[in-house]
Amino acid sequence: MNDRKRFVGWLGRAGACLLVAAGIGGAAQAADYPERDISAVIPFSPGGGTDTVARAIANLAEQELGRSIIIQNKPGATGATATEYVHQQPADGYTLLMAAENQNLYRTTGLSQLSFHDFEPILLAAEAYPLIVVQNDARWKTISELLGEIDKSPKSLKVMNTGPVGISGVVTAMLGKSFNLVPYKGEGLGLAGLLGGHVDAAIVSMGAARQYVETGKLKVLAVVANEKVAKFPDWPVLGKERPEYQKYLPWGPYYGVYVKKGTPQPVVAKLQAAFKKAWSTDKFQKFLEANSIFPLGLSGEAALKYQNRWESVTNWLLFEVKAASDPSAFGIPKI
């Protein structure tokens, strides 16, 4: 019995030593990190909204980290190619995923078995409001006129579409109308199609369309929001023009920085501190304002709460219009 007590006591002391050692090791890991340059993977081609935001904040965060953040663009499968690549890398903080919101929809749309639940948010930096735009001389003066026409003649209007989990795909699902969706590989190409008369309307981020609106080439039929944007008070908003859509709003793309789940918490904390400081700079805030993107600055529980609400609202919306499979099969609650 005495031997057994001594053995149990030894196990307790050994366990305590291991815990202390783990704590010391974690602290040392945080103190040493990063010991080399960091890779940041963007799931889309250069020049788009995600790419622009990612590069702006990465350039500032690397100054805080003391190492270069080397950007890689890995487009494909609405971002799933890059997401799966990052998930295959070690969970050590040396491969970042700098993504938009699309990963919330992968499972229900069959693009990938991965989702943001397989990653830990470092920072949700910003969000954007989509615009529904048409050529400035188009016959529709309001969003109700456009939707009314499609009610009378389904499939008669061509709308650019960047895929089922892109901005245009989700908003057309939200509108619940029978548009003739024309595929494009990105917002820029879709806007070019609209300006060239190949489609009747485009649904894109505010930053992508703003210059064309301000130069009189396009007009805004609706901001996909419930409240007017202070900087653009003359632009109509969907929730006020068509109250039946208020339950889905506010809704829009957002931009974040992630690491693979399992990354040591001291490393996560160091990355969060660096990116939050970068986010707080006047330079980054002015960048957001200039690009019609709105600041979030969320990490930890606040980031998870925001992300989970977005995931629930959007997946159930797509399910209702038969653009996604049953979210409950993936444990996504209906809020």
pLDDT in tens, 162-192: 887 788 988 998 999 999 999 998 888 999 9
Q: Which residues contact 83 (CB under 8 A, 6 or more apart)?
A: 43, 97, 99, 103, 106, 112, 114
Neighbours of 7 (CB within 10 A): 10
Q: Does the pLDDT at position 17 exceed 70?
A: no
Q: What is the pLDDT of residues 121-153, one digit of tens each?
A: 999 999 999 999 999 999 999 999 999 999 999
Which pLDDT score is estimated for 166? 80
Kindly state the average pLDDT of the residues 258-273. 98
Q: Which residues contact 280 (CB under 8 A, 6 or more apart)?
A: 297
What are the CA-CA distances from residue 147 to residues 185, 200, 309 (Å)?
25, 12, 27
Domain boundaries, the chain: 35-127+253-330, 130-248
Which pLDDT score is estimated for 3? 56
CATH code matching the domain that covers 130-248, chosen among 3.40.190.10, 3.40.50.2300, 3.30.565.10, 3.40.50.12280: 3.40.190.10
Task: Report the distance separating Cα 25 and Cα 77, nearest Å.
Answer: 39
- β-pairing, 254-260 with 95-99? antiparallel
Full strand arrangement of the beta sheet holding 119-127: 69-73, 38-42, 95-99, 254-260, 119-127, 294-298
Fold match, 35-127+253-330 / 130-248:
yes
* 129 closest CA partner among 223, 221, 215: 223
- Residue pair 52/71 in contact (Cβ under 8 Å)? The answer is no
329 secondary structure, DSSP code: G
Q: What's the farthest any 2 CA atoms get from each other in the chain?
A: 93
H/E element holding 268? helix 265-280
- Residue pair 213/219 in contact (Cβ under 8 Å)? The answer is yes
Which long-range contacts (C-beta less than 8 Å, at least 24 apart) are formed by 326-329?
326/108, 327/108
- Residue pair 296/121 in contact (Cβ under 8 Å)? The answer is no
Q: Which fold has domain 35-127+253-330?
A: D-Maltodextrin-Binding Protein; domain 2 (3.40.190)
Q: Which residues contact 261 (CB under 8 A, 6 or more apart)?
A: 91, 117, 118, 119, 120
Q: What is the pLDDT of residues 281-312, one digit of tens each?
A: 999 999 999 988 999 999 999 999 999 999 99
Task: Report the distance separating Cα 315 and Cα 325, nearest Å.
Answer: 8
Q: Which token pair is 297? A: 């600055």
Q: Which residues pair with 121 in a beta bridge?
A: 258
What are φ and ψ of residue 95, in 5° steps?
Answer: -135, 110
Question: Coil, strand or helix: which one is 42?
Answer: strand
Q: Which token pair is 61? A: 């965060």
Q: Where are the alpha helices (DSSP H) in 135-229?
A: 143-152, 167-175, 187-195, 206-214
Stated length of the chain: 335
Kindly state the average pLDDT of the residues 231-241. 95
Q: Does the pLDDT at position 335 exceed 70?
A: yes
Kindly state the average pLDDT of the residues 99-128. 95
